[in-house]
Structure 1
Amino acid sequence: MNDANFKTLTVSIDNGVAFVTLSHGELNLLDMDMLIDLDRLSREIEVDEAVKVMVLQSANPDFFVAHADLGTIATLPSEPAPREEVLGWINQVFDRLRTSPKVSIAKIQGRARGGGSELALACDMRFGAIGQAVLGQPEVGVGIIPGAGGTVRLPRLIGQGRALEIILGCGDIDAELAERYGYFNRALPAAEIDQFVDNLARRIASFPLEALAAAKASVRFSGSIEEELNHEEIAFLKTVHSEPAKRRMAAAMGMGMQTPAMEKLCFTDIWGPLADA
Structure 2
Amino acid sequence: MSPVASPSSLIDSAVVHVAQVSPGYLRVQFDNPPLNLFDPEVFAGLTLLQQYVDSAAADVRVVVFESAHPDFFFAHVDFPRVGDISAAAGGRSLIEHWPSFSTWLSQAPIVSIAKVRGRARGIGNEFAIACDLRFASLERAQFCQIEVGFGMVPGGGALEWLPRHIGRARALEMILGAEDIDAKTAELYGLVNRSLPDADLDEHVDRLARRIASFPAQSIVRTKALVAARQQLPATDELQESFQAILQLATSEDSRAISARVRAKAGGSLAPAELNLPDWYGPEQR
**Counterpart in 1 of 2:26?**
18
Q: Distance in 2 between matches of 1:128 and 1:103?
A: 17
Structure 1 segments, 4+ long, off by >6 Å, are none
**Counterpart in 1 of 2:284?**
none
**Counterpart in 2 of 1:154?**
162
Q: Distance in 2 between matches of 1:37 and 1:94?
A: 14
Structure 2, unmatched stretches of 5+, are 1-7, 85-94, 233-286
Distance apart, 1:66 and its partner CA:
0.7
Distance apart, 1:223 and its partner CA:
7.0
**Counterpart in 2 of 1:143?**
151
The yes-or-no answer on 1:69 pairing with 2:82 is: no
Q: Distance in 2 between matches of 1:187 and 1:223?
A: 24
Contact 2:136 2:195 in 1 (8 A): yes
Percent of residue pairs bearing the same amino acid type: 42
Equivalent residues in 2 for 1:179-198 (5 A)?
179-198=187-206
Q: Distance in 1 between matches of 2:117 and 2:10?
A: 22
**Counterpart in 1 of 2:172?**
164
The yes-or-no answer on 1:203 pairing with 2:211 is: yes
Equivalent residues in 2 for 1:231-270 (5 A)?
none
Distance apart, 1:46 and its partner CA:
2.6
Give the alignment's TM-score, normalised by structure 2: 0.71
Give the aligned CA root-mean-square deviation in angstroms: 1.8
Q: Distance in 2 between matches of 1:201 and 1:55?
A: 7
Q: If you compute each CA radius of gyration, which structure gives the higher value, 1 or 2?
A: 1
Residue 223 to residue 67, structure 1, CA distance change in 2 (3 Å)? closer
Aligned with residue 125 of structure 1, among 123, 133, 142: 133
Matched residue SS, 2:154: coil
Matching residue's letter, 2:17: T
- 1:80-112 CA distance string (max 9 Å, x none): xxxxxxx94111112111111011000001110
Q: Distance in 2 between matches of 1:160 and 1:26?
A: 34
Residue 192 to residue 14, structure 1, CA distance change in 2 (3 Å)? same
Q: Distance in 2 between matches of 1:223 and 1:37?
A: 30
Matched residue SS, 2:162: helix
**Counterpart in 1 of 2:68?**
59
Q: Distance in 2 between matches of 1:4 and 1:164?
A: 38
Matched residue SS, 1:183: coil
Q: Distance in 2 between matches of 1:42 and 1:219?
A: 22
